[in-house]
Amino acid sequence: MTAPVVIIGMGEMGELFAVGFLKMGIPVYPITRQIKPKSIANEIPRPSLVLVAVGEDDLDESLERLPLQWLDKVVLLQNELIPRHWQKHGIQNPTVIIVWLDKKKGRPPVNVLPTLVGGPYAERIKELLECIGVPCKKISTDEITYELVRKNLYILTINLAGLLLPTNTTVNELWDQHRSLAEGVFNEILLLQQKLAATSFGKQQILKGVLEAFRGDPDHICTGRSASKRLKRVVRLANQVGASCPKLKQIQSKTEPRSVRRL
């Protein structure tokens, strides 16, 4: 019998991937918040792979709780992800999925761009995504950091710039009507991502890649429920690594509740 896939986190993405694995005939063992992964390591010492599908705020704790014998099986799919997130937990060569599928509860999924996957289990993940109708392309390990940063720039630029704009502003409207704001946020996020990833990227090349995503779903709404939390997380990270972010701090001062700003 095929060893089960372990999925940590059963939100929208965890459920989507669980369905895909089951369609492929691979058993799935879900791990929720109430279950400690190390408590089942004896029962499933060598799963087929371990998909960590938790949100950004829960990633660090989830990786810390992984059994040592699972570390070479890890598959990651979070936004705001960069190599330092997994390297500090002793994970050397994970499979990484750069998800370009916009899937929210109660809405039909939208493929902004083909989802990208690189790492040891890339072929299996590509097969799974094709099984459930999600366009997917394999990338080399050398391309992972660039593609992660491109996705981070996309999601953070539209989310954080969108906090200053009317509700339901689209990415097309952001770029066409509020370009100065978008570029200001993009520039600060790029500097921060380069510090966090300890590498540099050609600005024009990566901006071109972000604009490709804008065109992929021009009616995508800039902000969602996570935008304010993302802003706090980004400003905190910028302060930690000494990255200048006056525009982001300005957005934060304008969007925080008055009672918070007075403290």
Averaged over 139-163, what is the pLDDT? 97
pLDDT band at 260 (very low <50, low <70, confident <90, very high): very low
- What integer pLDDT is reported at residue 42 of this predicted model? 87
Strands in 50-52's sheet, in edge-to-edge order, are 28-31, 5-8, 50-52, 74-76, 95-98, 115-118, 136-138
- What integer pLDDT is reported at residue 1 of this predicted model? 57
pLDDT band at 80 (very low <50, low <70, confident <90, very high): very high
pLDDT band at 33 (very low <50, low <70, confident <90, very high): confident
At position 205, the amino acid (one-letter code) is Q
The secondary structure of 51-93 as a DSSP string is EE---HHHHHHHHHTS-GGGGGGEEE--TT--HHHHHTTT--S
- What integer pLDDT is reported at residue 137 of this predicted model? 97
Cα separation of 126 and 138, whole Å? 7
- Rounded to the nearest 5 percent, the helix, strand and coil shares of the chain are 50, 10, 35
The least confident of 68-72, 100-104, 105-109, 111-115 is 105-109
Domains in the chain, start-ordered, CATH in brackets?
5-139 (3.40.50.720), 145-261 (1.10.1040)
- What integer pLDDT is reported at residue 258 of this predicted model? 46
pLDDT band at 110 (very low <50, low <70, confident <90, very high): confident
